[in-house]
Structure 1
Amino acid sequence: MDIQSTFELLDKKFTSIGGLQQGGITRLLYSQEWNTAVRELEKTFKDEGFEASFDDIGNLSGRLVGSKYPGETILTGSHIDTVVEGGHLDGQFGILSALVAVKYLKEKYGQPLRSLEVLALAEEEGSRFPYTFWGSKNFFNLAKKSDVDTIEDAEGIRFEDAMRESGFDYRKTTDVRNDIKAFIELHIEQGKVLETENKTIGVVNGIVGQKRYTINLKGEANHAGTTPMSLRRDTVVAYSKIVTDLTKRAREIGEPLVLTFGHVVPVPNTVNVVPGEISFSVDCRHIDQQLLNDFATEIEDKIKSVASANNMTYDIHLWMDETPTLMNEKIVRIIEQAAKNNVGDQYKVMPSGAGHDSQIFAQYVPTAMLFVPSIDGISHNINEETKIADLVKGIEVLIDVLYELAYKE
């Protein structure tokens, strides 16, 4: 079996489902494109001799039953939905690479000792409805009916209606599977680190924790021509001080800490009025919980001190507080050894700065991830791409990892 040609044929077929004329894919949860993709994937699983099945909400599995330990499952895959005008690799690569890897192992070594299962999770992105990780949260009975029963998409279609129109419904059981011995997710990096450092494989040791704030500062709106600089309570100036000082501090602390000021709304946001109010977002991430907490304290202290120095009031709203997720050390070592065997020293042990389904799985089962580079770090974009040689190396490393976990005693 030729790994590259097998993958390319599958990628071409599934990229056409929801494929856009200008390139890329839009394949949103419970859409026509999504339905076509999961049914075609179900057929592909069956054609390969896998046991194919959906759960209640639309997660799809293709299972190769183990010979000696059929009740122990090595699970691998990712999510099948995309963002609007997304690329052909985010999520889809993790599923198709898993399919290629298990097909290769089956053809070369026959039936595994432990069951191998390729998983296509229904949704991760939250691009159609305002809810993320619907697939993986349902996998572990974390999602609640009340989370989604009133939400709608941009066209006013209710989540429940779209789900039922697709032939799926809410979970009918609270049972959680106890057969999964490992979950492995292969993904594009969605960043520039591997490409910049000329590495072929990223061995993910954890997914960063995130804290997200909405900050509001209130000073005083006044006439832009008649208010002397010394008498102004200009919230944009205060905001600029906060951004400058905290960005400098983040650079001093260094990687893997990242800090982003992404959304800014000055009020009244007009040319001839000193802005008397401003709201802005702050996003900070780190793999170490204590260091993340410490920097969050610095963020809040800086906002308070700048507001005080400029005679302003402030409101600090922490609306996301996700803890870092560490990958399973044993599986990380297996992936690292497989990377060494396949690419020598062209790998890097690194955290993931983006969220992935693995952060849900890692709370319940031994979990690990591996990355392949993204060209120019581009993702969530029709121009998302990875060199085919790097994609193949990722699949080859995944094959070795799955062999170690499913075929060895």
Structure 2
Amino acid sequence: MQLTEEVIVDMLNKLGSYGEDPSGGISRFLYSEEWVQAQQFLKEEMEKEGLTTRYDEIGNLFGKFEGTKYPDETILSGSHVDTVRNAGHYDGQYGIITAFLAIKYLKAKYGQPLRNLEVVSMAEEEGSRFPTAFWGSKNIVGTAKKEDVAGKLAFDNGIPFEEAMRKAGFDFRDETKELRKDIKAFLEIHNEQGNVLEKEGKSVGVVQSIVGQRRFTVELTGQANHAGTTPMGYRKDAVFTAGKIITEVLTEAKQVGDPLVCTFGKMEVTPNVVNVVPGKVLLTIDTRHTDKEALVSFTDFAEETMKRIAKEDEIGISIDMWMDEDPVPMDENIVNVIANSCDKEGLNYKLMYSGAGHDSQVLAPYYPTAMLFVSSVDGISHNPDEYTKPEDLLEGVKAMAASLYELAYKE
């Protein structure tokens, strides 16, 4: 079997036909008819190649190529099959296809490995249909709980989570079962969803760490008043205070520099009319860094700054940190295996970090885990215009195949 651009693109298009939107994107939500069809397509493709397939209780699909010497050791690779609404053709499904094609290539060229090679098509990562995320990977590591989703309604049609799940043929995991002990490594490849690789002229990224995230909701409370009759010196203008906070915090973020990022992504102004001094502002803040101490240090600065400015302006303030996720380092040994494999193959790559969350961050605390990226044109993602050049798709499959060879075929 030859690894070619045409083979990769053809399989992307075939899988992308399940849930295809008239606009050209893909909408394939957890436990939907399109989701069931996509998983069945992948199952049939795996079985054509002689892989042993199975679903777990919640709908993660696995295809295994048995090892000859270490049957209790598995090298797992793959990604998630669900999408956001009107997604592109690469996020998630490229990772599944790459894992499958890499195993197919290795099977044809080298025969059976010493350790099991297994591809996984994870049930869900995006949280696009129900108010949950990482349902697939969290069930693999045993952190998903029935009470987290029971009774939750679908965003699209209001159907309860468990009804949709059972209609698709699945059910809740037996939470008394032990975790899998055979997984010796997990590898995930993904389109970058950023433009670092493209800007630097690289095809492949070897991910060393996934950023930690802290997210806040901030409410500023001043006093709504007449825009014409309230002198500037007498105002308690919540927007004025918000502007000062945004300017000072983002200026500091720019001074700190990469890999810190900080985003004020949402602002709600009350009463939000042209002739009233704004009495209330709701802000959201998203901060990310690869280093936990640096993330905490910056967010401490941001909180102190917001409180100080609010006090100076006589504005009430409440701060709610509703997300606090630590950075997740990738396994150093697996990262080295991937980097050395890229060197041997002569691939154009760089070591980097991931600024977005992925299933790998869920699996990494339990199993040795590492990620690869392929270049994204203009960094566009979660959009029908998402695109990776075929030659870069091929480089990603080569990197995956070479890495799986080192992990599964070598002593």
Q: What TM-score do you get using the length of structure 2 for normalisation?
A: 0.98
Alignment correspondent of 1:267: 270
For 2:272 and 2:13, locate their aligned partners in 1 and report how far apart those are by CA, in whole Å: 47
Letter in 2 for 1:78: S
Q: What CA deviation, in whole Å up to 9, does each residue of 1:317-368 have, x standing for no partner?
A: 0000000000000111111112223345x32211100000000110100000
SS for the counterpart of 1:385 is coil
Structure 2 contact 75–404 (Cα < 8 Å) conserved: yes
**Cα distance in 2, alignment partners of residues 12 and 191 from structure 1:** 22
- Note if contact 1:200-1:343 (Cα within 8 Å) is conserved in structure 2: no
Q: Post-superposition shift, 1:150? A: 1.4
1:350 aligns with 352
Task: Determine whether 1:34 maps to 2:39.
Answer: no
Distance (Å, rounded) in 1 between the aligned partners of 2:370 and 2:349? 15
Instruction: State the match for 1:191 in structure 2.
Output: 194
Shift of 1:20: 1.7
Q: Percent identity?
A: 52
- Cα distance in 2 for partners of 1:280, 1:206 equals 28
Distance between the aligned counterparts of 1:227 and 1:338, measured in 2? Answer: 68
Partners of 1:357 and 1:223 lie apart in 2 by 51
CA contact (8 A) 1:342 1:393 kept: no
Contact 2:8–2:393 under 8 Å retained in 1: no
The reply to whether residue 300 of structure 1 matches residue 303 of structure 2 is: yes
Aligned length: 408
| Superposed counterparts of 1:9-48, under 5 Å | 9-48=10-49
Question: What is the CA–CA distance in structure 2 between the aligned matches of 1:391 and 1:196, rounded to whole Å?
Answer: 17
Please tell me the root mean square deviation across aligned C-alpha atoms, in Å.
Answer: 0.9
Partner residue in 2 for 1:140? 141
Residue aligned with 2:117, SS: strand
Residue 3 of structure 2 corresponds to which residue in structure 1? 3
Structure 1: 5+ residue stretches without partners: none
Structure 2 unaligned spans of 5+: none
Q: Distance in 2 between matches of 1:356 and 1:275?
A: 39
CA distance, structure 2, for counterparts of residue 130 and residue 284 of structure 1: 22
Q: Pick from 323, 326, 337 the counterpart of residue 334 of structure 1.
A: 337
| Residue in 2 that maps onto 1:234 | 237
In the alignment, what sits opposite 1:391? 393
Aligned equivalent of 1:156, options 131, 155, 158: 158
Contact 2:241 2:315 in 1 (8 A): no
Which residue matches 1:381? 383
For the Cα contact (< 8 Å) 2:141–2:179, is it kept in 1? yes
Residue 215 of structure 2 contacts residue 324 of structure 2 at CA under 8 Å; is this kept in 1? yes
State the distance in 2 between where 1:305 and 1:401 align. Answer: 51
Deviating 4+ runs (over 4 angstroms): none
Distance in 2 between residues matched to 1:343 and 1:14, nearest whole Å: 30
Separation of aligned partners in 2, 1:388 and 1:342: 18
- CA-to-aligned-CA distance 1:292-330 (integer Å, 9 cap, x gap): 000010110111011011001110000000000000001
Counterpart of 2:171, as a letter, is: D
- The question of whether the paired residues in 1 share the 8 Å contact of 2:226 and 2:276 is answered with yes
1:254 equivalent in alignment to 2:257: yes
